[in-house]
Amino acid sequence: MKLVDFLAHGDRLSNDDLHRVAPRRGWLLTRWLDRGAVGLSMLCLVHCLAFPVVVLALPTMGEILPRQWWVHPVIFALAVPMATIALVRGWSDHRDRRPVLLGGLGLALLGLGLLAAEASAAEVLLTVAGGMIVAAAHLLNWRLGRHGHAGT
């Protein structure tokens, strides 16, 4: 529906037509949260992949920058509410459940990564996979909201 049609025939439009013309209230917050969550996922990915490389490449870094136990719980504590709010708000806009399902899977993997032994292969695999899936969910959420796709 075009804005011209809305202006010319606004009194005869259905709620669906109005929803397609007028942006949903709060869409800017949802988009900001999606972008912030993608950034947080990328920060998590860089942390998970770069820190071991730095420690291996520079043996003295292991003594200078010891592995901080609180990094993963803090990132997880930020990721859960940010992802939940952004993905649920996006779903209420485009009604496609794929971003919510992907985001839930990614957050579950991140949570399992917290339970794995520190610095184990399982921790790295679960955390990296979870972060990438959460980022993909937010990118899909952003794309669906931007293009106004009706969900399944």
Nearest 10 degrees: Cα torsion 64, 70, 71, 75: -170
pTM, full prediction: 0.62
SS3 call for 134: helix
Mean pLDDT of all residues belonging to the chain = 76
13 — pLDDT class (breaks 50, 70, 90): very low
Residue 105 contacts residue 67 (beta carbons within 8 Å): no
Confidence grade of residue 7 (pLDDT, cut at 50, 70, 90): very low
Reported as a single tens digit per residue, the pLDDT across 22-79 is 455 667 788 888 888 888 888 877 777 776 666 555 555 555 555 677 878 888 998 8
Residue percentage of the chain with pLDDT more than 70: 66
Give the 3-state secondary structure of residue 67.
coil
Give 98 or 55, the one with higher predicted confidence.
Answer: 98
Query: Which tokens in the block code for residue 94?
Result: 């485009």
Mean pLDDT across the stretch 13-29?
57
pLDDT at residue 39, rounded to an integer: 84
Cα(24)–Cα(93) distance, rounded to whole angstroms? Answer: 7
Once rounded to an integer, what is the mean pLDDT over residues 104-116? 94
Residue 15's SS3 state is helix
The reported pLDDT for the residue numbered 96 is: 94
Chain position carrying tokens 């136990």: 69
Pseudo-torsion of CA 127, 131, 133, 134, nearest 10°?
Answer: 130
Predicted confidence at residue 54, as pLDDT, reads: 60
Alpha helices (H) in 22-120, listed in sequence order: 27-57, 61-64, 71-94, 98-115
